[in-house]
Chain A
Amino acid sequence: MTEIRHRINLRQFQSLIALAVMVLALSLLSDRFLTVDNGWNILRQISVNLCLSVGMTLVILSGGIDLSVGAILGLAGAIAAGLLKNGLVLATFGARLEFTVTGAIVAGIVVGAAAGSFNGFAITRFQLPPFVATLGMLSIARGLTMLWTGGFPITGLGDRFGFLGTGAFLSMPMPVWIMLALVAVFVVVTKRTRFGRHIYAVGGNERAALLTGLRVNRIKIAVYTLAGALAGVAGLIVTARLDSAQPNAGLGYELDSIAAVVIGGTSLSGGRGSVMGTVLGCLIIGVLNNGLFLLNVSPFWQQVIKGGVILLAVAIDKMNVRSRDSA
């Protein structure tokens, strides 16, 4: 009984076909779609959403939801930009702490992780539903971003920081490098580590996970902390690309991220799905956005169509589950 049969992942297969059909249709409809430049374009455009969505995938797999990632993105970007530009004024010591580019990057990620771990703490220690806890954090992080920036963009961050968003290495854009690295790491984490297995277990049946001796609370805190840290990374990319931290950066991004995860076949009730599915989900949304733009479809219609795609994806998923369970 040592044989392990690998199942074909029907859901991912369907996403892949949907993506292929879209690519084929768009290449026929627009001669500007299937070009190398446009390909990089799409990848660059989805890099931010994919950073958020990898974290969101972990959270949703564990049975939760995170509405605060967009706001954390804004906060982390603003703090990194502010520290880089103005340093940290320590009024009591009458001193000013200068930040290097690396220091600012680390600070942005740490701020994201801290906000995420606060989410995890509120959810485990005070038993708040994830929806409520992260809704609170959404508002807190937005407010803090406004306080930090005074409502004005922080601009002029320099080329070295800007490299993160606009630079390229071996002719591949930096945001794409970051995105691919994160995907690679988290595919391995979810599929091949104890921590990853435990995330699936907690999302699949929290009670059973607890009775089997998993440290459910620690796992949840770790998941939200990672989601926050990844939102921090996304914040750095956005800020670096614009050479400016906008106080409103990341507004509504949590919804795009949830959409990508869901289109990618991850179940909102937890325990089922994958990071690779989310990659496909992000690609589908990215190709759709790009294609509709190239075809001069109005942005208002783009939203309507995106909503339809989400509903369709989840409806197909439900039908799959039903036919499998009754079989």
Chain B
Amino acid sequence: MEKVKAKIDYNNPVITIRDLYKSFGDMKVLQGIDLDLYQGENLVVLGRSGTGKSVLIKIISGMLRADSGDVSVLGHDMNTIREKDLQELRIRIGFSFQASALYDSMTVRQNLEFPLVRNRKGMTRKEIDTATESVLDAVGLLHTINQMPVELSGGQRKRVGIARTLILNPEIMLYDEPTAGLDPITCIEINDLINEVQQRFNTSSIIITHDLTCAKSTGDRIAMLLDGKFEHVGTFNEVFDTDDKRVKPFFEYNFVE
């Protein structure tokens, strides 16, 4: 499916990062990250494995703290945010995990209801059912509602994982390697779903990947993470129209449609 041009508000950044540093012991992971994510935009963060892409979105979601630098998410300073405000902010951020992270002991329905009943108080049983079925229908998996996660395929698990975050109507979506470990056809379906989520739910997204097909088909902008910094930021063609020896092999060894 061809990506529809998104309505991006370049005057309204939802995430702003300045001079971000993060290390684990002696290992320096992020070394001076600057980033803006605008309202309605899909930003793809590309980079080799172990370059700190996932660390970046864990800092954005408040799972990790930065060593230094400014991180502002939906107007909240992540360095000084209080626990209570962080809880409320997290409801506005959807996080799709690389391995889906579905709750093994719950059915698909219970997986979706879990964040809903705990964050939207006073909902009736009927409202909960309607919300669950509607979001599951949006990802095309209504028929799996009573299945256990173990009964789903890799692609279905990814979709249910995305549905579980969409049920809270997030303003920002963070996708961690959404197409990792999937076959090419399922990858295309997931890429289409990411675009559909952007259009239908009006989300701003950061998509962490090393899959160039995913990057090209979902990203309004690409940011290339090299040596702990964003070295090349722009459209897909702008990023790869370069002589940088660290970028070229990345392009040459990937399949791009």
Tell me if chain B binds chain A: no
